[in-house]
Amino acid sequence: MKKMKANFCSCSICERAKDAIRRYNKLRVGWQLQAENARKLAIVEAKKAEGMSEDAIAVYLKENSHLLKCNRCNGSCLEGSIYRKFSKDPSTCLEALLCDKVHVPPLDLATLDDNFRRVECETDQFFCYRQECCSGEHVQLTLNADGSRTTQPVCGWDAVFSDMPLHERTESDPSTSEDTTHSVRACPDEYNYPGRVSWMDFVKVSTSRLLHVIC
């Protein structure tokens, strides 16, 4: 006998965010691979035009494997980076995009053993993300050269991935005929790949309610 666990959250927005992260994480591997293959094909064609043999081209590619990697994101999208790892699951996503959790002493609880008896001198400390981080309002003021001040995010997508190229895409709502422009920083290997419905699904939740509902 096992205690039944909920498979879905009753919040449809939360479930949409989780599903978008799951599908995005699964499909982005293929997007990155196809982008690398495209760069490889371009190099092969260029070397053939120079008269290089196939064997020589194979050696060249092996010795210059870095040429197959993306060079448009300042190294922020390469293997092992936060950008590559953040979409593993919602928890990993929040850890990457938000500031560290803070301790909230009033919500601490007494530590209980397996028989639900209090363990002396032990407390289960409660940690959570700050509300301003979840709502995208954790910002700082920056003094400009002309004396003016601008507000910049401390955490969140734009702050964490500030080195990424900025993309814009306008979508039209057929029911209202209104246009919505999405601006997001992302690796071109993923954003520019044809057939990116799942990517746009992720963009919509990541730039609006994703952090707020999961927190």
Please list the rounded mean pLDDT of every run of 10 residues in the chain (215 residues): 62 78 87 92 93 92 92 90 92 91 91 84 89 86 82 88 86 82 85 62 60 44
Measured between alpha carbons, how far is residue 51 from residues 48, 55, 57, 65, 201 in Å?
5, 12, 10, 20, 45
Q: Rounded CA gap, 86 and 80, in Å?
A: 10
Q: What is the pLDDT of residue 206?
A: 61
Res 15: pLDDT: 80
Q: 124 forms bridges with which residues in the sheet?
A: 109
**Cα–Cα distance measured from residue 128 to residue 131, given in angstroms and rounded to the nearest whole number:** 9
Kind plus residue range of the DSSP H or E element containing 42:
helix 12-49
* The predicted structure's pLDDT at residue 43: 94
So what's the pLDDT on residue 209? Answer: 46
| pLDDT computed for residue 6 by the predictor | 58
Of the candidates 178, 136, 129, the one whose C-alpha atom is nearest the C-alpha of residue 159 is 136
Tell me how far apart the alpha carbons of residues 100 and 166 are, in angstroms, rounded to a whole number. 26
pLDDT of residue 96: 92
CA-CA distance, 34 to 49, in Å (whole number)? 23
CB neighbours (10 Å) of residue 185? 19
